[in-house]
């Protein structure tokens, strides 16, 4: 093939006195195709402002993102106020129930509320029953009993105990059946009980404290959250599932009492709001619908841009493979996938899902505020993080993004190493200090405590709260805490900050990243952005994939295979040598040409060397950029793409 290609260049058959190069139109097409493809890549990586100057293209995505930021923020604020009212109503009711049903309860006794005698257990149980039966006369809220089929749901009193046990601490003997049994009784509000221990006898509900594990009291109450009317929302109807637990699992003589509250939110079956609340709800629904439309438009535009980037990536990979004979690196490929667009796509998807849930909540078809708040909150966070992309259009603001981008791999590796030390301290502190220190009782609290210590928070109280009951553990805690704070505050955190500082200074000195092959190829285009306004149609036409096929065919024809097949070179170079002896030789000196084979080894045949050098000199003057293998390009000094 090399002989045929070179032979066709030397003797086309129509003219024996001069070489016949490729048709001029094909050469110009290849040269223009390279330049226009470079300009196409440059245009693809322009920011919206440069694209507007280049082709007058309106920055629709930029305008839509700015509009969307304002709309989503307003939506989140409105939903946040509604969610805050719901959470406040739940917490205030929980506090009210504790004061209502727990005898002698104070706000600071959540973790220490307990009783220590049998009579106190019966007294507190009787107090709960009395408060429940007189609820409507005692409560200051709009609480009421739950009714099922017109009948009030009763209070449920249950005890859990071992099936059988005989315990004798004096003789240090016991016999126990670990199977747990449950016994329950119902108490209706119309059956008030008086007295203390007699209440249990009237209910036929006695407690065997040696076998007793816990006593649970289950109460169901209803209420309506009316404060939402002030914010133009329909009130919700709440069902409170209250559980009061007397825990005796440790059998230590201390019976701890806790009150927990689960909430169900339902649509009220019969409601009527006088005034403009209905119109305001319709306006909120219309506003949410507008946000959904804006996000759908933004999602479509970003998906189109990502698709165009993937298509252009394929074109560039074929272009690079054709002219350079090697594959595009993974990093260069990833530059065509704009991470900011991926961020916007995720944000739009979360906003659409959250807005739909919000509309369902406003129309009382759904009551799950938590899922909706997570979706809208995450979407808003991503939207505001996306603002960094537009700040990156300015050189002074872009350095933050460049620093974060360059430091990310180093930060990940650093955090992996630091995490090993951190987890080691966590497990050690949990096992050794857990029984003696409140902040180390669970692995979750240990993680939070040590993380706060790395920031220098709450250091003194952590040292002080350790009980000095065990001298060895107390000494160990001092070594443990001092070594952790010294290691992480003075070494790990300092190295972490120095990591960012070093990368920041490096970027300032280099004025950005080191250019990749893709960026170096694009940089060769020196045309200003405004030049694309005059040649938009030509650029699109010349850089199409069909012209790349033509250019690929021509480059394959001109790619000289002298370094692959020396026999064909000798035959093909004989014809070109005629022009060399006729005085039609190119201007370069054949003796200055250094020939190498495919692996870079010099040629050994002296009879082929002169002819091949002449062939290389002749072909090097063809008006085509880098038509040969990299070895010959380097030898002759041809420019590379």
Q: What confidence tens digit (pLDDT) does each residue in 530-563 have?
A: 554 444 444 334 434 444 444 444 444 444 333 3
Mean residue pLDDT across the chain:
74
Name which residue leads in pLDDT, 327 or 67.
67
Q: What is the pLDDT of residues 285-299, one digit of tens each?
A: 899 999 999 999 999
In this model, does residue 246 exceed pLDDT 90?
yes
C-alpha dihedral sign at 40, 44, 46, 51: positive
State the pLDDT at residue 132. Answer: 93
Distance CA 550, CA 96 (A): 81
- Across 422-435, b (16+ Cβ under 10 Å) vs e yields beebbeebbebbbe
Are 221 and 143 a contacting pair, CB within 8 Å? yes
Alpha carbons within 13 A on the beta-carbon side of 401 = 16
Name which residue leads in pLDDT, 277 or 502.
502
CA dihedral defined by 415, 417, 421, 427, rounded to 10 degrees? 80
Distance CA 218, CA 125 (A): 12
The residue behind tokens 């008030």 is 192
Written as six digits, the tokens of 116 are 């220590």
In this model, does residue 3 exceed pLDDT 50?
no
In this model, does residue 203 exceed pLDDT 70?
no
Name which residue leads in pLDDT, 631 or 441.
441
Are 337 and 569 a contacting pair, CB within 8 Å? no
| Type and span of the H or E element at 579 | helix 566-581
Q: What is the mean pLDDT of residues 386-415?
A: 79
Lowest mean pLDDT among 68-72, 315-319, 326-330, 527-531: 527-531
Which residues pair with residue 162 across a beta bridge? 180
Q: What is the pLDDT of residues 161-175, one digit of tens each?
A: 998 878 888 888 888
In this model, does residue 247 exceed pLDDT 50?
yes
State the pLDDT at residue 558. Answer: 40
Lowest mean pLDDT among 2-6, 54-58, 256-260: 2-6
Q: How confident is the model at residue 459 (pLDDT cuts 50, 70, 90)?
A: confident
First vs last Cα of the chain: how many Å apart?
24
Q: What is the mean pLDDT of residues 231-258?
A: 89
Burial label, 569 (beta-carbon count in 10 A; 0-12, 13-18, 19+) = buried
Residues 94, 96, 101: CA angle, nearest 5 degrees = 95
Q: How confident is the model at residue 213 (pLDDT cuts 50, 70, 90)?
A: very high
State the pLDDT at residue 489. Answer: 86
Q: What is the pLDDT of residues 113-149, one digit of tens each?
A: 899 999 999 999 999 999 999 998 899 888 999 988 8
State the pLDDT at residue 510. Answer: 63
Q: What is the mean pLDDT of residues 461-475?
A: 80
State the pLDDT at residue 233. Answer: 74
Q: How confident is the model at residue 218 (pLDDT cuts 50, 70, 90)?
A: very high
| Type and span of the H or E element at 285 | helix 277-324
Q: How confident is the model at residue 228 (pLDDT cuts 50, 70, 90)?
A: confident
State the pLDDT at residue 506. Answer: 79
In this model, does residue 206 exceed pLDDT 50?
yes
Q: What one-character DSSP code corresponds to residue 532?
A: G
Distance CA 624, CA 261 (A): 80
State the pLDDT at residue 609. Answer: 47
In this model, does residue 572 exceed pLDDT 70?
no
- Across 10-49, b (16+ Cβ under 10 Å) vs e yields beeeeeeeebebbeeebbebbebbbbbbbbbbbbbbbebe
State the pLDDT at residue 293. Answer: 94
In this model, does residue 81 exceed pLDDT 80?
yes
Q: What is the mean pLDDT of residues 74-79?
A: 90
State the pLDDT at residue 32. Answer: 54
Name which residue leads in pLDDT, 628 or 380.
380
Are 337 and 308 a contacting pair, CB within 8 Å? no
State the pLDDT at residue 514. Answer: 55
C-alpha dihedral sign at 302, 305, 311, 316: negative
Q: What is the pLDDT of residues 89-98, one digit of tens each?
A: 999 999 999 9
Distance CA 281, CA 360 (A): 12
In this model, does residue 225 exceed pLDDT 80?
yes
- Smallest Cα–Cα separation from 221: which of 132, 95, 91, 99? 132
Distances in Å between the alpha carbon of 403 and those of 331, 507, 513?
18, 7, 10
C-alpha dihedral sign at 391, 396, 401, 404: negative
Which residues pair with residue 189 across a beta bridge? none
Are 51 and 292 a contacting pair, CB within 8 Å? no
Are 48 and 61 a contacting pair, CB within 8 Å? yes
State the pLDDT at residue 457. Answer: 77
Q: What percent of the chain has pLDDT over 70?
A: 65
Distance CA 108, CA 95 (A): 11
Per DSSP, the three-state class of 145 is: strand
Q: What percent of the chain has pLDDT over 90?
A: 25
Lowest mean pLDDT among 170-174, 207-211, 247-251: 170-174
Q: What is the pLDDT of residues 34-61, one digit of tens each?
A: 666 667 777 677 767 667 666 666 777 7
State the pLDDT at residue 377. Answer: 92
Name which residue leads in pLDDT, 557 or 341.
341
Distance CA 396, CA 392 (A): 8
In this model, does residue 566 exceed pLDDT 50?
no
In this model, does residue 567 exceed pLDDT 50?
no
Per DSSP, the three-state class of 431 is: helix
């Amino acid at each position: 093939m090399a002989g045929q290609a070179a032979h066709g260049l030397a003797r086309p058959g129509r003219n024996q006195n001069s070489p016949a190069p490729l048709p001029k139109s094909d050469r110009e097409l290849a040269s223009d195709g390279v330049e226009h493809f470079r300009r196409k890549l440059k245009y693809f990586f322009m920011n919206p402002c440069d694209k507007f100057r280049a082709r007058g293209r309106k920055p629709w995505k930029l305008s839509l993102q700015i509009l969307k930021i304002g709309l989503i923020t307003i939506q989140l604020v409105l939903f946040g106020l509604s969610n805050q009212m719901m959470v406040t109503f739940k917490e205030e009711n929980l506090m009210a129930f504790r004061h209502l049903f727990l005898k002698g309860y104070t706000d600071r006794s959540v973790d220490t509320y307990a009783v220590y005698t049998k009579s106190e257990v019966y007294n507190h149980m009787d107090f709960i029953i009395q408060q429940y039966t007189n609820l409507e006369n005692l409560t200051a809220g709009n609480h009421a009993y739950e009714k099922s089929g017109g009948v009030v749901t009763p209070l449920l009193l249950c005890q859990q105990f071992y099936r059988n046990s005989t315990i004798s601490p004096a003789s240090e003997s016991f016999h126990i059946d670990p199977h747990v049994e449950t016994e329950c009784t119902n108490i209706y509000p119309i059956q008030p009980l008086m007295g203390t221990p007699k209440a249990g006898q009237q209910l036929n509900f006695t407690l065997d404290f040696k076998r007793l594990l816990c006593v649970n009291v289950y109460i169901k109450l209803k209420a309506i959250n009316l404060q939402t009317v002030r914010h133009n929302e329909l009130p919700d109807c709440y069902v409170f599932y209250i559980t009061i637990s007397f825990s005796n699992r440790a059998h230590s003589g201390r019976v701890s009492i806790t009150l927990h509250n689960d909430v169900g939110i339902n649509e009220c079956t019969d409601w009527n709001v006088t005034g403009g609340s209905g119109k305001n709800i319709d306006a909120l629904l219309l506003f949410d619908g507008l946000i959904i439309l804006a996000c759908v438009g933004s999602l479509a535009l970003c998906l189109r841009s990502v698709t165009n980037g993937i298509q252009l990536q394929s074109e560039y990979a074929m272009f690079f493979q054709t002219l350079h004979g090697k594959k595009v690196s993974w990093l260069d490929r990833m530059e065509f996938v704009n991470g900011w667009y991926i961020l916007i796509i995720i944000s739009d998807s979360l906003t659409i899902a959250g807005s739909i849930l919000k509309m369902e909540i406003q129309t009382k078809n759904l009551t799950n505020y938590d899922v909706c708040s997570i979706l809208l909150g995450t979407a808003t966070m991503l939207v505001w993080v996306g603002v960094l992309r537009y700040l990156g259009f300015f050189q002074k603001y872009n350095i933050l993004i460049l620093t974060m981008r360059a430091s990310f791999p180093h930060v990940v590796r650093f955090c992996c190493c630091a995490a090993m030390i951190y987890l080691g301290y966590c497990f050690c502190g949990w096992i050794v200090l857990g029984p003696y220190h409140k902040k180390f009782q669970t692995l979750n609290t240990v993680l939070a405590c040590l993380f706060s210590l790395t920031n220098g928070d709450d250091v003194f109280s952590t040292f002080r709260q350790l009980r000095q009951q065990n001298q060895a553990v107390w000494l160990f805690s001092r070594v443990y805490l001092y070594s952790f704070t010294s290691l992480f505050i003075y070494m790990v955190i300092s190295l972490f900050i120095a990591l960012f500082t070093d990368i920041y200074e490096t970027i300032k000195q280099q004025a950005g990243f080191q250019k990749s092959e893709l960026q170096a190829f694009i940089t060769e285009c020196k045309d200003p952005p405004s030049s694309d306004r005059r040649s938009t149609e030509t650029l699109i036409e010349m850089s199409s994939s069909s012209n790349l096929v033509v250019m690929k065919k021509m480059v394959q024809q001109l790619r000289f295979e002298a370094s692959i097949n020396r026999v064909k070179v000798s035959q093909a170079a004989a014809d070109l040598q005629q022009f060399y002896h006729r005085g039609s030789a190119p201007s370069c000196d054949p003796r200055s040409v250094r020939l190498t084979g495919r692996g870079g080894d010099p040629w050994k045949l002296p009879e082929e060397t002169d002819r091949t050098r002449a062939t290389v000199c002749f072909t090097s003057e063809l008006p085509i950029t880098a038509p040969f293998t990299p070895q010959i390009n380097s030898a002759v000094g041809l420019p590379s793409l």
